[in-house]
Amino acid sequence: MKNTVLKTSSLLAVMVLSGSALWFALSQGQPSPTPAPAPSALQGLLPDERNTVEIAQTASPGVVYISVRSNPAASLPDNLQPFAPFLQPQPQQGTGSGFVLDKQGHILTNYHVVQGASQITVRFKDSLKSYSAKVLGTAPALDLAVIQVQAPANLLKPLTLGNSDQVLVGEKAIAIGNPFGLDYSVSTGIVSAVRRNPGAVDALVPTLIQTDAAINPGNSGGPLLNSKGEVIGINTAILSPSGQFGNPQNAGVGFAIPINLAKQYLQPLEQGKNVSDKEILASRPRLGVSVIPLAAYSPQTLKANNLPEAGLMIQSVEKGSPAEKAGLKAPTRFLQVQSPDGTVQQVGLNGDVILEANGNPIQDIGDLRGVLEAANGQPVTLKVWREGKILNVNVIPQILASQ
């Protein structure tokens, strides 16, 4: 079966009930009041049930229902321009989730929830009224955005941000959001893994929290909470194998962006900054090398130059960088290769090849970035291939001004 990674925002649509001619239209602005259970009801619950109920009660008011409207730009050939007023694309509507950060109305969500939105409204739990919101700052490569809503202070219930570096596989995970427009749905599961990003989002997000708590379209931007009610991640995507007729299926594999990654950029996002890929890279510890994966080389080139089958070949070393101080070597022999798009690129043939970092196999730049992030400024041991010999090189990643 084919695996598909789906971002979990949701276009409002009509849902067909299986095996029936009945159509059920998901509607906006129709909250489902959820009265708090009486204390006596809580007393009859198991400890885990009580924990879930209490978190649902306390955290749901801080989760918001985000509705977006976008007006796609028309792109018509010249011969149809006279008919442009009649052929304009229809506005699109979508929904997602987010959660309140502070009493100033800052809300954290996914970038893909608000991307291209011409109008954003926010609704709070058990409220019929929607409030206008605007995008303040974005980090597209991290799939993060901060929006701000003008709403009464009594509706703004900030959630507590946890420490995703302390997340343990097997611990409880609670997702709150608005799947398929069904507002303020709560689902529970566990943290299935904390793994290197499998391609669910941009490679600049090095790791993701995997959970089997049900996450579906509309959950995007909502919080993933631990048993203390702290936000440990931002729900963003699901891995969905194609089932019968190619329809996506919920396979219990959802992904959340670790909250500690978001914390690093909250201040600039709240100040209205759009954080670029280059700025993200510049803020992270690096070795000071440019590299090319050996997967980009032809088998004939690898064999002819006695190169390993996998790894990252260093192409250049920055002066004064940790890599130069550690003695890592750039190539002195090069080969001109043509890429599929027709461009010609020069690649090294005898530079150092990074095979492992702290015992982790390195096959692409994402592997290396993940190890450098996890090192948190501590020395990293590289297993390096150099002209047929295997060396261990210790290097301390640093934040470098140049790129």
Asked if residue 124 belongs to a domain, the reply is yes
Q: How far apart are CA 284 and CA 370, in angstroms?
A: 11
Asked if residue 27 belongs to a domain, the reply is no
At residue 400, the 3 state secondary structure works out as coil
Domain count, the chain: 2
Question: Residue 367 catalytic?
Answer: no
* Residue-range definition of the domain harbouring residue 97: 61-72+91-157
Chain centroid to CA 378: how far?
25
Q: How far apart are CA 333 and CA 365, in angstroms?
A: 22
The HSE-up count of residue 73 (CA atoms within 13 Å, CB side) is 2
CATH number of the domain encompassing residue 151: 2.40.10.10
Report the amino acid identity of residue 238.
I
Asked if residue 166 belongs to a domain, the reply is no
Divide the 403 residues of the chain into consecutive groups of 10 and give the mean pLDDT of each group: 54 30 35 60 89 97 96 59 52 89 98 96 94 98 97 97 97 96 95 92 93 94 98 93 57 94 97 95 92 94 95 96 97 86 88 97 91 88 97 94 57
Q: How far apart are CA 321 and CA 372, in angstroms?
A: 15
**Which residue among 126, 157, 188 closes a domain?**
157
Find the catalytic residue in 97, 106, 112, 240: 112
Find the catalytic residue in 60, 220, 240, 290: 220
Q: Give the residue carrying structure tokens 């050996």.
A: 294
Which two structure tokens, joined as six digits, stand for 310?
């996998």
**Which residue among 138, 157, 176 closes a domain?**
157
**What stretches of 123-251 show up as alpha helix (H) in DSSP?**
none
Predicted confidence at residue 214, as pLDDT, reads 94
Asked if residue 195 belongs to a domain, the reply is no
DSSP string, 167-194: --TTSEEEEEE-GGG-TTEEEEEEEEEE
Predicted confidence at residue 156, as pLDDT, reads 98
Q: Give the residue carrying structure tokens 């959660």.
A: 99
**Which residue among 116, 136, 157 closes a domain?**
157
Asked if residue 141 belongs to a domain, the reply is yes
Predicted confidence at residue 80, as pLDDT, reads 54
The 8-class DSSP code of residue 242 comes to: B
Torsion (CA) 14, 16, 21, 23 in degrees, nearest 10: -30
Predicted confidence at residue 375, as pLDDT, reads 87
Question: Residue 130 catalytic?
Answer: no
Find the catalytic residue in 127, 143, 164, 192: 143
Question: Residue 165 catalytic?
Answer: no
